[in-house]
Amino acid sequence: MSEQVTTPAQVVEEPLAGEVAVDPATGRPAGRPQALVLLLSSCLAVLGSVLLAPVLPRIQDAFAGTPGVEALTPIVLTAPALVIGLTAMVAGRIVDRVGRKRLLVSALVVYAFAGTAPLWLDSLQLIVASRVLVGLTEAAIMTCCTTLLADYFHGSQRERYFGLQVVFTTVAATVFFGLGGALGAQDWRTPFWLYAVSLPLAALAVKYVWQPAPQAAARTAKLAPLPWRPLLAPVGVSLLGGLVFYVLIVELSFVLDGIGVESTGTIGAVSAIGSLGTAAGGFLFARIARLGPAVTVPAAFALSGVGLIGLGLAGSLPMVVVCAVVTGFGNGLLLPAMLSWALGSLSFEQRGRGTGFWTSAMFIGQFICPLLVLGLSDAISGLDSALMVLGAVAVVAALGVRLARPVGTSEPVTAAH
C-alpha cells in the first residue's frame, strides 16, 4: 500500500482536492442544481427517523391486540437507522460497482413505495418489514448523495456542501418532527404520505444528476482496493462521533424534565435552539475546513464534549439552553469534519465504499447511543452522570485525535494492486 506525503501547506490550500467529475455530455462541472438535488435527497434519512415519533403511541394503540406490540412499535421508528448502519457498507460497494446515478434513482423510487406501504398494511409485522426496506433504500440514498457530492466538488466547495448537508438534514429533522405531529393528529397513517416526496426527487435526479465518466472505465475492471490504513482511523472515530452526535437529540428532553420543565412548548423551543446551533456549526464548517482534520475533528469533539458535561451539571433552564447550543454547534462541525477526514485519502473508484463504511459507522453509533446512555444511567446513578461521562469521553477523543494529528491529502491515496 502506498501513500503520498503532503506538506502542511498543501493541506491548508486544498484539504480535499482530488478527481472532480464533469458532465460527460457537456464537459461542464456540477453546480447548484446538482448540489440541491443531492442535499434535499440527503434529508430523506432523517424523515425516516423523526417523522413517526409523535404518532408511536397511536400506532401502539391501533395494534393493541398484536403479540409483542410494546417491542414492535419502537422498531417502527428505529429499524431504518439500524438497517442503514448494517448495510451502508454494502451500498457503498454497489455504488462503486454499478454506478452512482442508477442506484440513487432506483432507491428514491423504491423509497416512496416502501415508505407509503403502511397506508394500506393492516399488520404491524408487515409494517416493520416495510420499515426495514425503507432503511435499505436510505442506506443507498445517503451513500450515493454523499459520494456524488465528493465526486462533483473539491476543496472549499466540497467542504461547504458537506457542511450544508448537516444544515439541510438538521432543519429537515425539525420540520419533519412538526409535520409528523400535525398530520398524525388526524390519523396515525397520514404522516406516511410524506414518503412520496422521493418521487419528484427521483425525477429531478434523472434530469440533473449525471453518472461520473470515470465509472465507465472502472465498470469493466476490478475494484481498486481500499487504503485501509488511512481509512480505519476516521471510520473508527466516526463510530464514537455518531454516538456523541445523537446524545443531544435523544436526551435533551429528559434533561429538561429533570430540572422541572414540563411544558412541551418550552421543550420544543429549547430543542429547536439546539438544532439551530447544529445548523450554525454545519454552515460555518467550510470557513475552518482549510485548517484540516487535525484541527476540525478535535475542535468538534471538544465543543460537543464540553457541552455534554455542562448539560450534566446544568440546574437551570438558561444553563441548559447555553449548553445545548454549545453541544449543537460542536455536532454541526463533527459530521463534516469526520467525513472530510475519511474521504480525503480516497480515489474515485474507492469513494463509494469509503462513504458506505463511514455511513455505517455513524448510524451504528447513533443506534447504540440511547442504549449506552440508559446503561450508564443505571450503572452510575442517573442521566446527569452519564452525560458527564460521555462528555469526558468526547474531550478525551479530541485530545487523542489532536495528538495523532491526522492530515488531509491533496491527492487521493492509491492502494497497491
DSSP per-residue letters across 379-415: HTTSHHHHHHHHHHHHHHHHHHHHHH-----SS----
- Cβ(391)–Cβ(376) below 8 Å: no
Residue ranges of alpha helices (H) inside 66-99 are 69-98
Task: Give residue 209's pLDDT band: very low, low, confident or very high (50, 70, 90).
Answer: very high
- Cβ(412)–Cβ(346) below 8 Å: yes
Phi, psi of 22 (to 5 degrees): -120, 160
Q: State the Cα–Cα distance between residues 157 and 232, nearest whole angstrom.
A: 25
Q: State the Cα–Cα distance between residues 241 and 298, nearest whole angstrom.
A: 11
Is the pLDDT at 412 greater than 70? The verdict is no
Least reliable range by pLDDT among 16-30, 128-142, 203-217: 16-30
pLDDT per residue as tens digits for the range 157-192? 888 898 898 889 888 887 887 787 788 877 889 889
Q: Where are the domains of the chain?
A: 10-20+30-213, 227-407
Cβ–Cβ contacts within 10 Å for residue 80, how many?
28
Task: Give residue 221's pLDDT band: very low, low, confident or very high (50, 70, 90).
Answer: low
Give yes or no on whether 10-20+30-213 and 227-407 have one common fold. yes
Phi, psi of 29 (to 5 degrees): -75, 165
What mean pLDDT do residues 357-361 have? 89
Q: State the Cα–Cα distance between residues 216 and 403, nearest whole angstrom.
A: 41
> Percentage of the chain surpassing pLDDT 90?
35
What mean pLDDT do residues 123-144 have? 93
Q: So what's the pLDDT on residue 292?
A: 86
What mean pLDDT do residues 366-376 have? 85
Give the residue from 338, 358, 348, 355 showing the smallest Cα distance to 401. Answer: 338
- Cβ(413)–Cβ(4) below 8 Å: yes
Is the pLDDT at 417 greater than 50? The verdict is no
- Cβ(55)–Cβ(73) below 8 Å: no
Q: So what's the pLDDT on residue 223?
A: 66
Task: Give residue 2's pLDDT band: very low, low, confident or very high (50, 70, 90).
Answer: very low
Residue ranges of alpha helices (H) inside 153-213 are 155-184, 198-208
Is the pLDDT at 220 greater than 70? The verdict is no
Is the pLDDT at 219 greater than 60? The verdict is no
Is the pLDDT at 17 greater than 70? The verdict is no
pLDDT per residue as tens digits for the range 27-59? 788 889 999 999 999 999 888 777 777 777 788
- Cβ(12)–Cβ(292) below 8 Å: yes
Q: So what's the pLDDT on residue 222?
A: 65
Q: So what's the pLDDT on residue 103?
A: 93
Is the pLDDT at 410 greater than 50? The verdict is no
Q: So what's the pLDDT on residue 19?
A: 58
> Percentage of the chain surpassing pLDDT 70?
89
Nearest-5° angle of CA 413, CA 414, CA 417? 155
Nearest-5° angle of CA 307, CA 309, CA 314? 90
pLDDT per residue as tens digits for the range 228-281? 777 888 889 999 999 999 888 878 888 888 888 877 678 778 888 888 899 899
Topology of domain 227-407, CATH: Growth Hormone; Chain: A; (1.20.1250)
Mean pLDDT of the chain: 83
Is the pLDDT at 109 greater than 90? The verdict is yes
Helices 155-184 and 124-152 cross at an angle (nearest 10°) of: 160
Nearest-5° angle of CA 263, CA 269, CA 273? 145
Topology of domain 10-20+30-213, CATH: Growth Hormone; Chain: A; (1.20.1250)
Task: Give residue 4's pLDDT band: very low, low, confident or very high (50, 70, 90).
Answer: very low
Is the pLDDT at 298 greater than 50? The verdict is yes
Distances (CA, A) of 125 to 68, 73, 118, 130, 189: 10, 9, 11, 9, 15
Cβ–Cβ contacts within 10 Å for residue 405, how many?
12
Q: State the Cα–Cα distance between residues 223 and 238, nearest whole angstrom.
A: 24
